[in-house]
Amino acid sequence: MCAMAIFGIVGLILFELIMRSRLSIAKFGISFFFTQAWDPVTGAFGALPFIYGTLVSSFLGLLIAVPLAIGVAIFLTEMCPQFLRGPLAFLTELLAAIPSVVYGLWAVFVLVPILRTDVNPLLARVFGWTGFFGGPNYGIGMLAAGVILAIMILPVISSLTREVMISVPHSQREAVLALGATRWEMIRMGVLRNARIGIVGSIILGLGRALGETMAVTMVIGNRPEIARSLFAPGYSMASVIANEFSEASDDLYLSALVEIGLALFLVTIVVNALARVLVWAVTRGAPARVA
């Protein structure tokens, strides 16, 4: 009964979101997700800028976090001295316990000035020809949101990647080394190759965390419902628009449109997290228990 209660709660959440968004679904249909207009005054609502902002900031966060997280996992699992392994693993996982609003405050007072004065001008000079690093340099924008998301999802990806790598049998490592492989070749062919499905699962789980992040992203993304090619430009995410405008919804259609955005975000997050769990389970299901 306790286990079924969890499914009941999820079902009730889904039911309530569907019921509350019926007005928007009936008026806009599927075009709601392909329209850029967001004008509460005229009653024109479209979720495309928020979907774009959510996807761009999340994938940018993954692009930054995945190499760092896998590097941390490899070091802690295969190279780190025993006396450092515990403290470093604890400090890495401690990042996941920091409240989102604290990340946002740190980003506003530390990250955004660094991006505005040092990082963004350098990127504009080197990669400005791509069109992704041009335009006004406010500091806040898609790039800032991507960087703060990368920091927030790094411990999630790193800890799960470590668990998946630990589950690879030691006989795989010994067999590769016995064939004359170097230490890095052993890690690349004996460990990472066998753990790749679980690593992909941990990355997707990190994506699920990034998609639903609200407070920190709201504080640095700029909150402008526009689609721009430049990563310096402000944007808007699905979670941010709900947090910012839900209390300001002045009519039923406005409220229904916000709830429909929440419904889409809920469904996407559930699917992404379920897929990630399945991939991680596919690798770790036969792993023996270990003592930390």
Say what percent of the chain tops pLDDT 70. Answer: 96
Rounded to an integer, the average pLDDT of 268-286 is 74
pLDDT at 149: 94
pLDDT at 290: 44
Rounded to an integer, the average pLDDT of 18-35 is 90
pLDDT tier, 61 (very low <50, low <70, confident <90, very high otherwise): very high
Which residues are 222's β-sheet partners? 235
pLDDT at 104: 92
Give 3-state DSSP helix, strand, coil % of the chain, rounded to 5.
Answer: 75, 0, 20
pTM: 0.86
Whether the per-residue pLDDT at 284 is higher than 70: the answer is no
Please give the structure tokens belonging to residue 188. Answer: 């690349």
Instruction: Give the CA distances from residue 45 to residues 1, 20, 57, in Å, rounded to whole numbers and listed in that order.
Output: 41, 16, 22
d(CA 122, CA 115): 9
How many CA atoms, within 13 angstroms, populate the side-chain half-sphere of residue 14? 11
R_g of the chain computed on alpha carbons: 22
Burial 13-43 (b: 16+ CB within 10 A, else e): eeeebeebbebbbeebeeebeeeeebebeee
Whether the per-residue pLDDT at 286 is higher than 60: the answer is no
d(CA 138, CA 220): 10
Q: Exposed/middle/buried for 290, CB within 10 Å: 0-12, 13-18, 19+?
A: exposed
Q: Please give the DSSP secondary-structure letter assigned to residue 289.
A: P
CB 205 within 8 A of CB 273: yes
Averaged pLDDT of the chain: 87
Whether the per-residue pLDDT at 289 is higher than 50: the answer is no
pLDDT tier, 291 (very low <50, low <70, confident <90, very high otherwise): very low
Whether the per-residue pLDDT at 285 is higher than 80: the answer is no
Q: Under CATH, which number does the domain 2-284 receive?
A: 1.10.3720.10
**Interval 116-153: pLDDT, tens:** 999 999 999 998 888 888 888 888 999 999 999 999 99
**Interval 159-215: pLDDT, tens:** 889 988 888 888 888 888 888 888 888 888 888 888 888 888 888 888 888 888 888
Rounded to an integer, the average pLDDT of 242-256 is 87
d(CA 163, CA 199): 9
Q: Provide CB contacts within 8 A for 186, sequence distance 6+.
A: 173, 176, 177
Rounded to an integer, the average pLDDT of 19-40 is 89
